[in-house]
Amino acid sequence: MSDSIVFHSLAALAYAGLGLGLCRSLSSDPPIVKAGNVARLGLLLAIILHGIALRETVLLDGNLRLGWSAALSAAVWIGMLVFWLESLVIRIDGLQLLLLPVGTTVCLLAALFPQSQLIAHANDTGLRIHLLIALSAYALVTIAALQAMLMSGLDRRLHFPREEGAHSGAFRRAVGRLLDAQPPLLAQEQVLFRLIWFAFAALTLTLVSGALISLSLSGKWLPLDHKSIFTLLSWLTFGILIVGRHLRGWRGRTALRYTLVGFAFVVLAYTGSRFVMEVILQRS
């Protein structure tokens, strides 16, 4: 068994354990709706395990290797790191309700499907920088999408408050209280658009660096493959959202829809076809 599989499995167990701890704290009476220092430290340790797993996957034997599961794992790892740092500035504990299951699932997928392929021209510094920028863009878009889902839950909670009577499950009531304890939607929206701006900038750098790499290796500015097309569509989606917010004040559900559409394009660009080729069609 490779070190990559071992450390991805350990990271999955760590994320799952933190998720179960969150569920228990939410189900307690009264529920604990604020993450403490121990939980924050536990998440940091899980992120470190995840990072070691990625090093053993992507930098195996000094080479650069990448597959659909490794790309997904790397993006979620960067996203976890962004969340952990962001949580030091603003309370976004509710996002863990989505992040911890995602982290567990992604690490399990990386352990179950460890196949990866050697990246051509991997010694090229420009290519390495391009891959790092692309994965960072993917991570920022992923966190923005999860933030949009959290805001959707907050919006629904605001418009359709549930009675916390005996007919409601204890966990449902606790989740409702967790959502109530989060910063108001306006503050959450500021976090979302800060993430969107960073994601848009990273996507812009991804397209520019990708074009330069393509020009140096093949003489073409931007190859019309699925990855470039879907990345460009995601970039256009977020660009339209940013312009719409600036000119027409777009916010709320409109912003959430655009964010999720942009995320869908990124998923199709970076993991969709690779998953089909490596898992469904069994091709490298």
The pLDDT confidence band at residue 281, using thresholds 50, 70 and 90, is very low
Which runs of consecutive H residues, i.e. helices, occur in 160-184?
A: 170-180
This prediction has a pTM of 0.77
Most confident of 75-79, 169-173, 216-220: 75-79
pLDDT at 126 over 60: yes
Question: For residues 117 and 52, which has the higher predicted lDDT (pLDDT)?
Answer: 52
pLDDT of residue 142: 86
Q: What is the mean pLDDT of the chain?
A: 81
CA 15 and chain centroid, separation: 14
CA 273 and chain centroid, separation: 18
Question: For residues 146 and 187, which has the higher predicted lDDT (pLDDT)?
Answer: 146
Q: What percent of the chain has pLDDT over 70?
A: 80
Closest residue by Cα to residue 73 from 116, 35, 42, 126:
116
Closest residue by Cα to residue 104 from 42, 15, 18, 41:
15
Q: Kindly give, in sequence order, each residue whose CB lies less than 8 Å from that of residue 125, ignoring residues fewer than 6 positions away.
A: none
Number of domains composing the chain:
1
pLDDT of residue 204: 94
Q: pLDDT, tens digit, for every residue of 1-46?
A: 588 899 999 999 999 999 888 877 776 666 665 667 788 899 999 9
pLDDT of residue 45: 95
pLDDT at 245 over 70: yes
CA distance 14 to 114: 19
Closest residue by Cα to residue 26 from 152, 161, 175, 143:
175
* DSSP assignment of 230-272: HHHHHHHHHHHHHHHHHHH---HHHHHHHHHHHHHHHHIIIII
Helix, coil or strand: residue 128: helix
The pLDDT confidence band at residue 117, using thresholds 50, 70 and 90, is confident
pLDDT of residue 9: 94
Question: For residues 225 and 200, which has the higher predicted lDDT (pLDDT)?
Answer: 200
Domain range enclosing 64 = 3-280
Q: pLDDT, tens digit, for every residue of 62-110?
A: 677 777 788 888 888 988 988 888 888 777 777 787 889 999 999 999 9
